[in-house]
Structure 1
Amino acid sequence: MEVSVLNCGTMRPRGARFLVPRMSASPCLCLLIEEADRLILVDSGLGTMDMEDPTGRLGFSNVLLNAERDPGLTALRQLRGRGLHPEQVTDIICTHLDRDHAGGLPDFPDARVHVLRPEHDHALDPPSRRERERYRRCHFAHGPRWEVHEGTSGEDWFGFNCIRNIEGLPSEVVLVPLPGHTLGHCGVAVRYGQGWLFHCGDSYYARAELAVGQKAPAGVRAFRSVAHLDRSCALRQLERIKGLLAAHGSEVATIASHDQAEYVKRFGRAP
């Protein structure tokens, strides 16, 4: 089994280079898992149709988020560029269903889409205006093949409740509920080699947030208050991730969807 990091969309929020320099160019980091003759994605980033009409499909917020119109960044195009076929994507595991994570779902209509129950229910029937803006109906209009996961399996992953041994997924893939950013937000841990890669979704935005005993940059703190549905809950998850790295940093590496530093580390340049 091979695991790769893809950037499936870049947002360049207007004014961020002055207010939140660490988020001036925000990638959408996804995972590609290659197992035998099939492919699994963790998040799907922005999709082909989003690139054609970003404001129409991503909503009013895109006036500020300013998604870059580059079809070459879509998971669909990147897979083809690697000589892989979109039909090989059997499963997509979504950390959550915000526009910049679920936008690529229509490009893979036959894939099973794994989400936690609260995320599925809030995305398909948003109870608040705020959630109606973040979840885009156009991303689900094709009728995804939902695999909705209830609760946890009662098992433990480094002290986190988790969902293991999911039917149809490799045993090396573990879902870890991390509510806060959204109510059904989750992390996805993948065992490869001698360790784990833990995709934390939007649990943090900049590597600086993981520094023990230090405050996150002011701009990032301000952005949290806007982005997190339940800020206090999200911050509790962040503290748990810090604790995980303090205790098991030699076994677990983390990645977050929009971390510029992670992008530079992986690709050797700024997004």
Structure 2
Amino acid sequence: MGMRVHHLNAATLCPASARLVNGRGGLFERARLVCHVLVVETSTGLLLVDTGLGRDDLATPSRLGRTWLRQVSPRLDQAEPVVAQLARIGATANDVRAIVLTHLDLDHAGGIADFPRATIHVHTRELEAASQGLGTRSNVRYVHDQWRHGPIWSTFEDGNDRWFGFEGVRTLGETKDEVLLVPLRGHSTGHTGVALRSCDRWLLHAGDGYFFHGQVETPPHAPRILRAFQRRSDVDTAARAANQERLRALVESHEDEVTLFCAHDALEFDRLRGDLQTQPE
């Protein structure tokens, strides 16, 4: 039996040039990126994987920083925060018991304040880096106001398990369902993928382990502008590239067992958003 999984876009980002970012569209047309969030119905309540932007970010967008706002031009749509979309699945903010963050970049952690009762799971090194302002572009990527409310943190270290060749994997202890934390270092200090068992296959939310669907195709490819932005954001480009290659190999060898997707690719999101993973009757 599997968990029911809902795919939500919790912020639309519109940087310049669809052709150079999305790989298609006009050169002067705005690109479209998403903030792909999962709402998972587990045996102990709702679990979120990432949160995108939250209501407070939309109310005070200046806190996101002029550099980030200029680079990605977020739509700032009041209907997009996860908390505003829960009614569609018959839920409220109080039903969210846990949130797993792939990392603490502002476009992944912005919504945690909308769920003050939820336990926030994040890698120990990621929380340390964000809290202390460590790593590449830390003054741009981390917004301390997003967790100034005092979240209920639950940090984790790498585990001892293996999963499809990935090492350091551990089980999330918040639920009895199959939720795995998969180390995918490189983009940030504690970057972690989240694998869920849904019906007869696995879903792997790779966060920012890659940015573009073509990067995990064979042969890999991606628009030049997106590759440059990715390198500029990395804390360890070699580690990110190695994990990205392992993700590509995962798709090549286990496509019938694992559905892989990242946080921002709109094509991947569009393919999955109508795919409501349900438990067998």
Q: TM-score range by the shorter chain?
A: over 0.9
SS of equivalent to 2:137: helix
Q: CA deviation at 1:36?
A: 4.3
Q: Choose 228-237 or 216-225, whichever is displaced more.
A: 216-225
Change (3 A) 1:80 1:235: same
**Partner residue, 2:167:** 161
SS in 2 for 1:3: strand
Report the Cα distance in structure 2 between the residues aligned to 1:58 and 1:16, rounded to whole angstroms: 22
Per-residue deviation at 1:225?
1.7
Change (3 A) 1:248 1:41: same
* Counterpart-to-counterpart distance in 1, 2:9 and 2:157: 29
**What are structure 2's unaligned runs of at least 5 residues?**
24-29, 275-281
Offset from partner CA, 1:76-125 (integer Å, 9 cap, x none): 00012332111010100000000000000000011100111110101111
1:12: which partner in 2? 14
TM-score by length of 2: 0.89
Instruction: Provide the C-alpha distance between the structure 2 equivalents of 1:165 and 1:200, rounded to a whole number of angstroms.
Output: 16
In the other structure, the counterpart of 1:53 is 60
1:5-61 CA-partner distances (Å, limit 9, x unpaired): 111111111x2325323491110001110124610000011000111222x121121
Give the Cα–Cα distance (whole angstroms) in 2 for the partners of residues 256 and 130 of structure 1.
21
Structure 2 equivalent of residue 209 of structure 1: 215
Contact map agreement 1:86 1:108 (CA 8 A) in 2: yes
SS at match of 1:189: strand
Distance 1:256 1:111 in 2: 23
Q: Is the counterpart of residue 176 in structure 1 residue 182 in structure 2? A: yes
Inter-partner Cα distance in structure 2 for 1:187 and 1:76: 22
Structure 1 contact 164–171 (Cα < 8 Å) conserved: no
Q: 3-state SS of the aligned residue for 2:260?
A: strand
Measure the CA separation in 1 of the matches of 2:265 and 2:147. Answer: 26
Residue matched to 1:111 = 118
Find the partner of 2:81 among 71, 74, 82.
Answer: 74
Alignment of 1:84-233 (within 5 A): 84-127=91-134, 130-152=137-159, 154-233=160-239
CA RMSD of aligned residues (A): 1.7
Range 172-181 or range 120-129, more displaced = 120-129
Amino acid at match of 1:20: V
Distance 1:92 1:267, change over 3 A: closer
Change (3 A) 1:219 1:132: closer
Q: Which amino acid aligns with 1:19?
A: L
Q: Give 5+ residue unaligned stretches, structure 1.
A: none
State the secondary structure of the residue aligned to 1:73. coil
Secondary structure (helix, strand or coil) at the match of 1:26 reads coil
Whether the 8 Å contact between 2:48 and 2:99 is mirrored in structure 1 is: yes
d(CA) in 2 for partners of 1:146, 1:52:
24
* Aligned sequence identity (%): 36
Give the counterpart letter for 2:11 in structure 1. G
Give 1:260 deviation, angstroms: 1.5
SS in 1 for 2:204: strand
- Which residue identity lines up with residue 189 of structure 1 in the other structure? A
One-letter identity of the residue aligned with 1:17: A
TM-superposition CA deviations, 1:106-150 (whole Å, max 9, x none):
000111001111101011111357212210011110111111002
Counterpart AA for 2:263: S
Which shifted more, 249-258 or 219-228?
219-228
Aligned-pair CA distance for 1:217:
2.6
Tell me the distance in 1 between the aligned counterparts of 2:21 and 2:113. 32
Counterpart of 2:8 in structure 1: which amino acid?
L
CA distance in 1: counterparts of 2:172 and 2:101, whole angstroms: 14
Q: Deviations over 1:136-176 (max 9, x none)?
A: 01111011111100222x11111112443332223410000
Question: Contact conserved, 1:80 with 1:86, CA < 8 A, in 2?
Answer: no
Letter in 2 for 1:249: E
Q: Does 1:62 align with 2:69?
A: yes
Q: What's 2:26 paired with?
A: none
Scaled by the length of structure 1, the TM-score of the pair is 0.92
